[in-house]
Structure 1
């Protein structure tokens, strides 16, 4: 009788062991199987989330399939329960174990936002407000209020942010991006101001920035920046008005409809350099580093005029007569196109 009981017990133990081994294999297959998504997806792990709540999110989002083995996986793989809050990018080549390994690292997905050279603060605000995963702390603030939060001495932010690509994690404040852009602009401006050419006709680094913003709006051709800068410097030295269209456009604000008319050139605004002498009161756009460097160290040229060539660059002239011929040639090119 005892032998029979022992045999039954042994069979039960073996069956249990076999069942446990089979169950363990099923759990391993579940954890190591590729996830269901066919493209990269973003998954947010909230503060206070645990393995089970995150697994439910992954199932609801279609990243993994529901499985009866899901609830047991945390027992055999306790590392799955160690999570850090954040938003992560999940690759379709990953397994469930890989996914939770990403959640453990805390290395959140880096989003990117790009501001191009020559863009205005108004355009920056529109881009920020339309960017997902950013915390929009500045959306309802005035420009002056934002300037104050950035620690600027001016109530205008125009020109005081460096246009380039910035990276951020989900939930980061748009204000923190502006702080970074402000610091990078100041660093670039300080370097340019410290190495500026002698006898430059600008009184301050801020004036240099204003000049750089005009250069930025006038040309996107790198090889021309120094020449364009020289034209404006030559004009300032001769006390000639700058007569640059981008300043007129900026001064018109929302009234600008894509065209400049003769009456617009004659209409006084603080920015209309056909009417005012010298530089406008503030920058008219966000200049890049190349334009700031060009403003600080312009080429040495005899030019006082330039006009678009019609072929992607500009024609530079020493005299008004030469300039008028270049304008007629430009109009001829336009008519032929």
Structure 2
């Protein structure tokens, strides 16, 4: 004799309960991933216009790191902001500023460069600093590229099947370039929740600075840089630094000197670079020019630091201080 089955209504309630439980688990898992990775799956960073026109662009920590690298490589080559805007717009179109390992035919990376077309090996192209350098190398060969429409300049490098597609990214790329070159002060912020999968500490920050800007970026801090891009054992940190802190004195900032100010584009570029890399490198605080950004704040805005401390530090404009979570 067959066993009696559950009433259909009860079976329905159990099914709905089970389905709801699975959904709750999925949502909880998603929220945990977002917290741990700094919101890599959605906007966690924002850049705003310094012109007071309300323009802004929201992007993810992953995109922020790549945009900061593209910009740093460009300024290390002494290229103008227009070149960086062209590069950022191109990467926004080609990969949405994500270092993807796939594309049309053998296209790879931020700029969808093809090994078969002589852009480099797959491993090289997947290195954002290398890929950005190769893009700039080709862009510099375009006559009068700074005077060309962005679509024309980008197309002469990329040879895309959709040459007009770069135009729609110019406003966002311009905002990013202004912030990441340091021309627009205190305009880039991120939530900055530290990731759990990357090395942390001052040495990791120094290595990333060298990767993006070149070895000269650490010279003002008095650090001797080894062949691997990390400070040598004999290098001593500045006397006022603390464990887990990188202090970058900003000297020779021509933009600031010309305007009669101590704080200038070079300092703000380094400060914004640190904020963009906050999730990747476990950076919890960045200070410059009497302002401070702290990871994990609700609004993650740049705030004025203590007035007396700022005065004692010469308004804080003489150095960028990056404090890590370790």
TM-score bucket (shorter structure): under 0.3
| Greater RCO, CA 8 A, separation 6+ | 2
Give the alignment's TM-score, normalised by structure 1.
Answer: 0.23
Give the alignment's TM-score, normalised by structure 2.
Answer: 0.23
